[in-house]
Amino acid sequence: MIQLIITCVLSLANVASPQESNKPVQVVCTTAMVADVVSAVAGSNATVTTLMGPGIDPHLYQATRDDLKKLAAADIIFQTGLDLEGRMAKVLRQFGTTKPVIEITADIPRDQLLVEADSKDHPDPHVWMDPTLWSSTADTVAVAMTKLHPDRISEYQVNASRYKANGKLMADYARMVSQSIPRDRRILITSHDAFGYLGRSLDIQVRGIQGLSTESEAGLKDINTLVDLVVKKNIPAVFIESTVPSRSVKAIVEGAAARGHTVVIGGELYSDAMGPEGTYEGTYQGMLDHNITTITRALGGSVPNGGFRQFKAESMAGSDGQSTR
């Protein structure tokens, strides 16, 4: 039935071409993280719609009839790529026959992607956990938008540069804060393996109970292995995620308690989706700031008052002061 709907919708879909300069581009993004990049680069030149909201797992998400209508009305579609939106792959490929469907991670050098030894053809798609790497996708978005608004190339390039600068600032802040975590506590255990890029950038060992995709199930052996690690390394906290059931993490807490070690749930992290709409955590910056704060404090480190927002304000003030000298 869905296939029939797709066929009908495609027959009515927009065919992308250079747009009138005063007409906003109709953009559809699969996730809020993708929409954050696109909105920053496109600015007022686009109306951006996001398919997957807070608490939605992109690994398992399938397009609804309403989604198909939104995709058909779009001038251009942006997705993460790297098989993150795996269950939407066929739908996105079909829409790609009538309009641009852009994987914003497509231009990231292969050697910068995390790849497990037993799945070399499937790099880790959770690139947004590294703000420097993720912000580099702004260049890909700028190129795609320029094809629709060729007369606005300079604007898109400037916006992309600004987005990358903010990503670097976030990365600098995250490294500074995470250095306060004691060396013997720099182990992050989460519901699934979504924090590899964050761990690499902050020199923190990351262990996910499930694999890169939440489609895989955690087995008793996986849980027991992590209980052994928690007890052996005296790890103080493990973390649940907003888009993944917490039962496997709670099993680790219970397993450690049975062996005489107390480990707490250090907090809820945002992995595959941002926080609630209209909140600071519902932005990409807020999502990362929340995660960094929660992880650092739970593992024994310290976070400055005001978090990244205060750090950014002080950095910007310092830059303005230097520029006026």
Q: Which CATH number is 64's domain given? A: 3.40.50.1980
Mutual orientation of helices 2-12 and 65-73 as an angle, nearest 10°? 20
Residues 6+ apart with CB under 8 A from 56: 243, 272, 273
Average pLDDT over residues 231-245: 94
DSSP lists the bridge partners of residue 190 as 208
In a domain, 114, yes or no: no
Residue 74 belongs to what domain range?
Answer: 2-16+24-108+120-174
Q: Which residue has the tokens 């250079």?
A: 18
In a domain, 115, yes or no: no
Q: Are residues 65 and 158 in the same domain?
A: yes
17 band by pLDDT with thresholds 50, 70 and 90:
low
Coil, strand or helix at 49: strand
Q: Are residues 197 and 300 in the same domain?
A: yes
In a domain, 113, yes or no: no
Q: Are residues 225 and 146 in the same domain?
A: no
Q: Are residues 162 and 185 in the same domain?
A: no
Q: Are residues 135 and 210 in the same domain?
A: no
- Say if CB 316 and CB 322 are below 8 A apart: no
- The mean of the pLDDT values for the chain is 90
Whether pLDDT at 13 is above 60: no
In a domain, 272, yes or no: yes
In a domain, 211, yes or no: yes
> How do residues 169-223 score in pLDDT, each as one tens digit?
999 999 999 999 999 999 999 988 899 999 999 999 999 888 656 555 656 788 8
Q: Are residues 223 and 151 in the same domain?
A: no
Percent of the chain with pLDDT over 90: 79
Q: Are residues 148 and 186 in the same domain?
A: no
Using the 8-state DSSP alphabet, how is residue 278 labeled? Answer: T
What is the Cα–Cα distance from 90 to 140, expressed in whole angstroms?
Answer: 22
Of 152, 174, 196, the domain-final residue: 174
In a domain, 325, yes or no: no
What is the Cα–Cα distance from 54 to 114, expressed in whole angstroms?
Answer: 25
Of 159, 174, 189, the domain-final residue: 174
pTM: 0.89
- How many domains is the chain built from? 2
Q: Which residue has the tokens 């024994």?
A: 300
The secondary structure of 99-165 as a DSSP string is S-EEETTTTS-GGGS---TT-TTS----GGGSHHHHHTTHHHHHHHHHHH-GGGHHHHHHHHHHHHH
Overall size of the chain counted in residues: 325
Q: Which residue has the tokens 């790497």?
A: 133
Q: Are residues 169 and 210 in the same domain?
A: no
Q: Are residues 184 and 170 in the same domain?
A: no
Cβ neighbours of 218 (radius 10 Å): 21
Cβ neighbours of 283 (radius 10 Å): 17
In a domain, 167, yes or no: yes
Of 174, 194, 217, the domain-final residue: 174
Q: Are residues 143 and 257 in the same domain?
A: no
Q: Are residues 287 and 169 in the same domain?
A: no
> How do residues 67-122 score in pLDDT, each as one tens digit?
999 999 999 999 999 999 999 999 999 999 999 999 999 999 999 999 986 677 78
Coil, strand or helix at 41: helix
Instruction: Tell me how many degrees the CA angle 119-123-125 measures, rounded to the nearest 5.
Output: 135
Q: Are residues 40 and 157 in the same domain?
A: yes
